[in-house]
């Protein structure tokens, strides 16, 4: 499996980096994880042909993770795409995504390729291909918004961490989280790779949980430009056994496991 960091910035826009997004490539299937503002330009800057994206998985619907989808589909249409596109979305968010595309005039009758909405449920393994799957577990990232459901009863509040399994390799991606405990939602798994956001909880808390999880390697992502000095200093002062294990991800970083 090959993993490419399309973007590593947090929700705060950066002049030098794109919003947080990942590309998983396994056995000719290319899965884009999140497609926030500027995703089309982000992919182009890395020489990634839109045609090669087989599916898009959304962790939640904050704009820095979701708002680039309509523009990306339009770009695919203008490039005369004819291969189907899979959109993986939690069952509670599917109607929201479909309606948002319709309201931006992306009509099934006007595009030459099929969009396949593939809904998943919380804590149920979803098979992308025969040897490539994911497991989603809800985290607490959106808990603070629960009080607004009184005023906006149609509000769907789902945000998840994900366990990806490709062959015999395991990758945990926290996406955006709300507490330190979210780092342990897959506590019964020891991943080869842990990809962790570094905006909503302190880097020191992440390091503490890493010791408990004991993954093969750790990549920190979803951080603002202002966070870089603090995170870099913490990483520079890690004990030698962790210094080799924990890395700060950068846009266009790519590796195979």
Q: Average pLDDT, stretch 93-106?
A: 96
Does residue 9 carry a pLDDT above 90? yes
Report the C-alpha gap between 89 and 207 in whole angstroms: 30
Q: Compute the average pLDDT of residues 202-213.
A: 90
Q: Tell me the mean pLDDT in the region 218-233.
A: 97
- Judged by DSSP in three states, 20 sits in coil
Average pLDDT, the chain: 96
* 45 to 16, 109, 132, 252: CA distances (angstroms): 12, 30, 27, 9
Res 72: pLDDT: 98
Going by DSSP bridges, is the β-strand pair 246-248/254-256 parallel, antiparallel, or unpaired? unpaired
Among 233, 168, 243, smallest CA distance to 203 is for 233
CATH of domain 2-249: 3.60.15.10
- Each residue of 17-57: pLDDT tens digit? 999 999 999 999 999 999 999 999 999 999 999 999 999 99
Q: Does residue 188 register a pLDDT over 90?
A: no
Q: Strand 85-90 to strand 246-248: parallel, antiparallel, or no bridges (unpaired)?
A: unpaired
Q: Residue range 209-232: average pLDDT?
A: 95
Please indicate, yes or no, whether the overall pTM of this predicted structure exceeds 0.95: yes
Question: Distance between CA atoms of 45 and 236, rounded to whole angstroms?
Answer: 30
Q: What pLDDT is attached to residue 42?
A: 98
Distance CA 115, CA 110 (A): 12
CA distances (Å), origin 133, targets 8, 16, 24, 163:
23, 32, 11, 8
Alpha carbon 119 to chain centroid distance? Answer: 16
Helix (H, G, I), strand (E, B) or coil at 241: helix
Rounded Cα gap, residues 177 and 220, in angstroms:
13
pLDDT tens string 111-132: 999 999 999 999 999 999 999 9
């Amino acid at each position: 499996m090959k993993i490419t960091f399309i973007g590593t910035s947090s929700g705060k826009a950066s002049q030098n980096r794109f919003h947080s997004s990942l590309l998983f490539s396994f056995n000719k299937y290319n899965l884009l994880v999140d497609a926030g503002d500027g995703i089309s330009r982000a992919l182009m800057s890395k020489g990634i042909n839109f045609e090669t994206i087989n599916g898009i998985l959304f962790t939640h619907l904050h704009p820095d993770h979701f708002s680039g989808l309509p523009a990306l589909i339009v770009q695919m249409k203008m490039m005369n795409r004819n291969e189907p596109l899979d959109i993986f979305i939690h069952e509670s968010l599917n109607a929201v995504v479909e309606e948002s595309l319709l309201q931006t005039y992306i009509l099934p009758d006007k595009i030459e390729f099929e969009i396949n909405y593939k809904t998943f449920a919380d804590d149920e393994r979803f098979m992308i291909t025969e040897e490539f799957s994911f497991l989603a577990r809800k985290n607490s990232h959106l808990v603070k918004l629960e009080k607004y459901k009184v005023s906006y009863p149609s509000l769907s509040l789902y945000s998840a961490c994900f366990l990806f399994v490709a062959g015999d390799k395991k990758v945990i991606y926290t996406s955006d989280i709300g507490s330190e405990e979210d780092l342990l939602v897959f506590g019964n798994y020891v991943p080869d790779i842990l990809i962790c956001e570094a905006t909503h909880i302190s880097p020191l808390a992440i390091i503490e949980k890493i010791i408990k999880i004991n993954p093969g390697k750790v990549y920190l992502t979803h951080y603002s430009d202002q966070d870089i000095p603090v995170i870099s200093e913490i990483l520079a002062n890690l004990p030698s056994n962790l210094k080799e294990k924990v890395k700060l991800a950068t846009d266009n970083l790519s590796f195979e496991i």
